[in-house]
Amino acid sequence: GNSETETQEVGFKERFQLASAPKNRIAQAAVKMIHEGMTVILDSGSTTMLIAEGLMTAKNITVITNSLPAAFALSENKDITLVVCGGTVRHKTRSMHGSIAERSLQDINADLMFVGADGIDAVNGITTFNEGYSISGAMVTAANKVIAVLDSSKFNRRGFNQVLPIEKIDIIITDDAVSEVDKLALQKTRVKLITV
């Protein structure tokens, strides 16, 4: 059954309140990478939700997301094109998953994809306490550049399931509390680290 993973998953509201100041800085740095004319994909999560809020006044961009809260927030902005992945709703994260959601990304060619994490390390990449996240893989395939947005508390935490291997990540934006050990481990990969 799913009862064990259900208790491990931290609810959306609690996650939104945890580590709020660093997450805000991380989201602001992410928003600065998004320019007019771009197509961007936002995976579900509390930090990507903050990115969505940062795009409330953006113009002439296309945002594709599987996150219902992000879609709802962005639907207020008439100056962007909003594409919502279809699929089955995972209630815990209020996001769309499954084969329909994955198929909706097949013909997409996005500039950037933003993904959060429950855990990250240089060996296992991004991991989650949720069940497998195949939609993130479909999003990566649809994007030219993959940017992980996560606060430093996520380093060396390891979820049960891999979301993305480290090779698939181009940039990590995290806060300045990330340790020297973690910085060194990432230097051995091709990932560019941005601290804010």
Name residues whose C-beta falls within 8 Å of residue 112's C-beta, 6 or more positions apart in sequence: 33, 34, 38, 40, 41, 143, 144, 145, 146, 147
Give the residue among 37, 71, 81 at the shortest CA–CA distance from 51: 71
- Read off the CATH number of the domain in which 138 is found: 3.40.50.1360
The total number of structural domains that make up the chain: 1
94 has pLDDT over 90? yes
pLDDT in tens, 21-80: 999 999 999 999 999 999 999 999 999 999 999 999 999 999 999 999 999 999 999 999
Domain of 61, in residue numbers: 3-195
Give the residue among 125, 174, 168, 122 at the shortest CA–CA distance from 143: 168
Q: What is the pLDDT of residue 160?
A: 87
Write the DSSP string, 45-74: SHHHHHHHHHTTT--S-EEEESBHHHHHHH
Assign 105 to helix, strand or coil: coil
Give the residue among 58, 7, 1, 29 at the shortest CA–CA distance from 150: 29
Average pLDDT over residues 99-105: 94
